[in-house]
Amino acid sequence: MKISGSEIFVECLRKENVEILFGYPGGVVIPLFDKLYDAHDIHFVLTRHEQAAAHAADGYARATGKTGVCLATSGPGATNLVTGIANAYMDSIPMVAFTGQVPMSLIGTDAFQEADITGITRPITKHNFLISDTSKIASTISQAFYIASTGRPGPVVVDLPKDVSTGVIDFEWPEVPPVPKGYKIPKYADTACIGEAAEAIRVSKKPLIYAGGGIIISGAEKELLVFAERINAPVTTTLMGLGGFPASHPYWVGMPGMHGTYTANMAFTECDLVIAVGARFDDRVTGKIEGFAPNAKIIHIDMDPAAIAKNVEVDIAVVGDARAILGQLLEVVEPRGRNGWNDYIEKMKKTHQPTYDRDSGILKPQYVVEQIYEVTKGEAIITTEVGQNQMFASLYYKFDKPRRFISSGGLGTMGYGFPAAIGAQLGKPDAVVFDIAGDGSIQMNIQELATAVEQKLPVNIAILNNQYLGMVRQWQELFYNKRYSGTCIECQPDFVKLAEAYGAHGIRVDKPEDVRAAIEKAISIDGPVILDFHVDREENVWPMVAPGAPISDTMEGLLS
Amino acid sequence: MRHIISVIVENKFGVLARISGLFSSRGYNIDSLTVGESNDPSVSRMTIVTRGDDSILDQVMKQLNKLVDVIEVTDLPRENSVRRELCLIKVKCTAGTRTEILEVANVFRAKTIDVGHRSLMIQITGTEGKINAFIKLMEPFQIIEMARTGVVAMMREMNETAGQENNEQNGQ
């Protein structure tokens, strides 16, 4: 039976088990929306901006492990997705972004709402497609989902011209995705490589496991735990890897890098072996390369060969899936006994915990995060915006399980956390979800309050309101003689009234003693809540490594 | 260090832009890039001449390999590959210089493909070095226009004798 391209589109979503689609309509995608109108099994979520649709799809993907899907119209709709697509690309998030396109006959004519979105998104997608024929819709969508979710995941854009979506043909679904000839998915490493890694571990006196987002993507958290306990090695996890190893475990030393813990940074500086698993030696982690892990051999396990030896020199490269490789290693690696290195690290960890002034009587952002942790017993899904709020969340909320910390790592996208929280809440309806935000970044996608209210989502937004763009202000304080150029944002909306204007709830908190009750109240409210915490205006994130310095130069601020 | 990389890609719309975009967005150098259909019409062969140290070359190869449309990437070793380029040169000539130009072209096994009152168009194929040498000899006569294809290259059969025979046939 012949059906239209738009019906094929909907059928393909069903074949790919898409439950939720985030998006925004427009002229050339009306045929798609017309068919979605009757597709009651696919929950369409209308965001108020396409960027938020992409972030929501991204948050949904991170919370559930499934592929996030979004849809926008051509031209401005498509270009509004770009930040969300780039964000997903940098953090290896499986996403399929559908964009409408002007009819094939108008492409290249500067038609109304035309943009070359495949050209624009080429450097920020794992792959992209322009479908030129209705007969290719099914095979292309099948490929798009396969490519987005396999290997090192990433966003795939599918551009659908209007005449392609209105064309009529027989629907045929390829049961096996038509994989491109050159598409490679490494899984297991060769045994020689594994043997070499095992030998390096055997002779190491001071090993350090450095785990990243690859642990979470591949679901390798159990293998990592067994591996770390087998070789008795301290573990540091990147921002993207938080929750990949239990923060409550005695071997966990915190996050490394610019705002990493003193212990993690010194462990890198003093170890004789780094076992990197699914982590890519980001410049925010390594600091000045010359001072990074100066005495260590480096084993780098990664799905993406291009991630290996990109930023640091590597002694043993192991290409493959983190879970599979850790499984291989566990078969051959010998148990390693504890030694002075373990005692040294544990002692350092006890005496160098990140901390702040708890007795000032002033509301501190760290205290707010700690209280969210206490009230939610560490079980909440925490999304963040970008800046100080992100670092306070990563330092003061302890993540014991994966997919509980959702944050823009690679791109550092302000405005990410709230729409991501909407996606996470829709993907995990029973979870308590908090977006830990700054007063600057929440205003980048605050219009999504309408989406959260409409969808009746109990998302909690904890604004650490200091009336500054806090992280930039911190740099200006420390490195630019307190010349706060462009970072003071005293002209703020009344966030409580703003929440109420959208039909949400708002709670303002000024005193430390009111924090806990406010958090408890927010959780008890069945709908979106803004918690406007007016915190110490010039509180800084510590520890910190100055830009361009080696991570051995970790400044701790206050010490306990 | 200069490298010649052979890239086998799907013969599809947009692949060239993907490859060239990769080089520009990551700051890799391209000296020349040639592309054309291979003996299998579904795949094309690109020959890319690039510069960089070992770590840059390693990244170039890996990043190319990551592209979904890329089927195979090979760094062609100088000793085991054949490299050729085609160049068209329009050179100014007079009755007095025509014979001399033709003689030089003959030595280089170049072909004269267009003769005018004031110019000659010469087609030369060979290694980049050979073409560069020819251009240098033409410069005193005044080159009016020139078009170079960039290098195309392929691996030899991995057999010393076969390689030597090919060399002899090609007059190298």
Quick: pLDDT tens for A296-307: 999 999 999 999
Which secondary-structure segment (H or E) carries A22?
strand A20-23
List the single residue in A122, A147, A306 with the smallest CB-CB distance to B17. Answer: A122
CB-CB under 8 Å, B25 with A181: no
B69/chain A closest Cα distance in angstroms: 6
Chain B residues whose CB is inside 8 A of the A127 CB are: 68-69
Q: Compute the mean pLDDT over every residue in chain A, rounded to the nearest whole number.
A: 97
Interface size, chain A vs chain B, as Cβ–Cβ contacts under 8 Å: 47
State the DSSP string of chain B.
Answer: -EEEEEEEEE--TTHHHHHHHHHHHHT---SEEEEEE-SSTTEEEEEEEEE--HHHHHHHHHHHHHSTTEEEEEEE-GGGEEEEEEEEEEEE--TTTHHHHHHHHHHTT-EEEEE-SSEEEEEEEE-HHHHHHHHHHHGGG-EEEEEE---EEEEPPS-HHHHHHHHHHTT-
Task: Tell me the torsion sign for CA atoms A31, A33, A34, A39.
Answer: positive
Chain A residues whose CB is inside 8 A of the B57 CB are: none
Average pLDDT over residues B24-51: 95
B82/chain A closest Cα distance in angstroms: 25
Half-sphere exposure of A271 (CA within 13 A, CB side): 29
Question: Residue A556 pLDDT more than 60?
Answer: yes
Average pLDDT over residues A310-327: 96
Alpha carbons B125 and B108: distance in angstroms, whole number: 9
User: What integer pLDDT is reported at residue B161 of this predicted model?
Assistant: 54
Task: Tell me the longest C-alpha to C-alpha distance in chain A.
Answer: 73
Is the separation of the CB atoms in A496 and A505 below 8 Å?
A: no
Residue of B nearest to A144 (CA): B68
Encode pLDDT of A166-197 as tens digits: 999 999 999 999 999 889 898 898 899 999 99
pTM above 0.90, yes or no: yes
Among residues A70, A43, A28, A25, which one has the least CA distance to residue A165?
A: A28
User: What integer pLDDT is reported at residue A293 of this predicted model?
Assistant: 97
Residues of A with catalytic annotation?
50, 112-113, 162, 471
Taking the Cβ of residue B95 and every Cβ of chain A, the question of whether any pair is shorter than 8 Å is answered with no
Question: Residue A453 pLDDT more than 90?
Answer: yes
Is the separation of the CB atoms in A392 and A355 below 8 Å?
A: no
How large a percentage of chain A has pLDDT more than 70?
A: 99
A253-to-A24, A132, A266, A322, B117 alpha-carbon distances in Å: 43, 52, 10, 20, 82
Is the separation of the CB atoms in A243 and A334 below 8 Å?
A: no
Is the separation of the CB atoms in A388 and A356 below 8 Å?
A: no
Q: What angle do CA A413, A414, A420 make, to 5 degrees?
A: 75
Encode pLDDT of A62-119 as tens digits: 999 999 999 999 999 999 999 999 999 999 999 999 999 999 999 999 999 999 999 9
Chain A residues whose CB is inside 8 A of the B63 CB are: 306
Among residues A171, A261, A154, A284, which one has the least CA distance to residue A208?
A: A261
Per-residue confidence band for A1, with pLDDT thresholds at 50, 70 and 90: confident
Q: Which residue has the tokens 């691996």?
A: B155
Q: Compute the mean pLDDT over every residue in chain B, rounded to the nearest whole number.
A: 92
Average pLDDT over residues A474-488: 97
Taking the Cβ of residue A306 and every Cβ of chain B, the question of whether any pair is shorter than 8 Å is answered with yes
Alpha carbons A460 and A482: distance in angstroms, whole number: 33
Encode pLDDT of A200-212 as tens digits: 999 999 999 999 9
Contacts of A288 (CB under 8 A, 6+ apart): A548, A549, A550, A551
Question: Letter for the amino acid at A14?
Answer: R
Question: Letter for the amino acid at A118?
Answer: T
Task: Tell me the torsion sign for CA atoms A93, A94, A100, A103.
Answer: positive
Per-residue confidence band for B159, with pLDDT thresholds at 50, 70 and 90: low
Burial of A428 (0-12, 13-18, 19+ CB in 10 A): middle
User: What integer pLDDT is reported at residue B169 of this predicted model?
Assistant: 43
Average pLDDT over residues B44-61: 95
The 8-class DSSP code of residue A420 comes to H
Chain A residues whose CB is inside 8 A of the B17 CB are: 119, 122
Q: What angle do CA A427, A52, A535 make, to 5 degrees?
A: 90
User: What integer pLDDT is reported at residue A558 of this predicted model?
Assistant: 60
How large a percentage of chain A has pLDDT more than 90?
A: 97
List the single residue in B8, B65, B69 with the smallest CB-CB distance to A305. Answer: B65
Alpha carbons A41 and A3: distance in angstroms, whole number: 19
Distance of CA A444 to the CA centre of its chain: 17
The 8-class DSSP code of residue A305 comes to G
Among residues A388, A433, A396, A434, which one has the least CA distance to residue A414?
A: A388
Go through A107-145 and write b for each residue having 16 or more CB atoms within 10 A of its CB, e for each that does not: beeebebbbebbebbbebbbbbbbbbebbbbbbbbbbbb
Per-residue confidence band for A276, with pLDDT thresholds at 50, 70 and 90: very high
Give the Cβ contact number of residue A400 at 10 Å.
16
User: What integer pLDDT is reported at residue B165 of this predicted model?
Assistant: 45
Per-residue confidence band for B162, with pLDDT thresholds at 50, 70 and 90: low
Go through A270-307 and write b for each residue having 16 or more CB atoms within 10 A of its CB, e for each that does not: bbbbbbbbbbbbbebbbbbeebbbeebbbbbbbbbbbb
Q: Which of A328-332, A478-482, B25-29 has the lowest mean pLDDT?
A: B25-29
How large a percentage of chain B has pLDDT more than 70?
A: 92
Among residues A322, A217, A338, which one has the least CA distance to residue A276?
A: A322
Average pLDDT over residues A43-51: 98
Average pLDDT over residues A383-396: 98
Encode pLDDT of B123-142 as tens digits: 999 999 999 999 999 999 99
Alpha carbons A160 and A94: distance in angstroms, whole number: 20
Alpha carbons B50 and A280: distance in angstroms, whole number: 25
User: What integer pLDDT is reported at residue B33 of this predicted model?
Assistant: 96
Per-residue confidence band for A557, with pLDDT thresholds at 50, 70 and 90: confident
Q: How many Å from the N-terminal Cα to the C-terminal Cα in chain B?
A: 23
Q: Which of A338-342, A387-391, A445-449, B9-13 has the lowest mean pLDDT?
A: B9-13
User: What integer pLDDT is reported at residue A184 of this predicted model?
Assistant: 87
User: Which of left, alpha, beta for B111 (phi over 0: left; psi -120 to 50: alpha)?
Assistant: beta
Is the separation of the CB atoms in B127 and B171 below 8 Å?
A: no
For the record, the structure tokens of A64 come out as 């559930």
Residue of A nearest to B8 (CA): A182
Is the separation of the CB atoms in A101 and A128 below 8 Å?
A: no
Q: Residue count of chain B, please give it.
A: 172
Go through A15-49 and write b for each residue having 16 or more CB atoms within 10 A of its CB, e for each that does not: bbebebbbbbbbebbebbbebbeebeebeebebbb
CA dihedral B139, B143, B148, B151 (to 10 degrees): -10
State the pairing for strand pair B81-92/B119-126: antiparallel
Alpha carbons A62 and A404: distance in angstroms, whole number: 9
Alpha carbons A35 and A431: distance in angstroms, whole number: 31
Alpha carbons A223 and A330: distance in angstroms, whole number: 8
B6/chain A closest Cα distance in angstroms: 14
Chain B residues whose CB is inside 8 A of the A181 CB are: 10, 43, 71
Burial of B158 (0-12, 13-18, 19+ CB in 10 A): exposed
Average pLDDT over residues A7-26: 98
Among residues A465, A390, A388, A397, which one has the least CA distance to residue A420?
A: A390
Strand, coil or helix: A459: coil
Q: Which residue has the tokens 């790919």?
A: A16
A179/chain B closest Cα distance in angstroms: 9
Question: Residue B158 pLDDT more than 80?
Answer: no
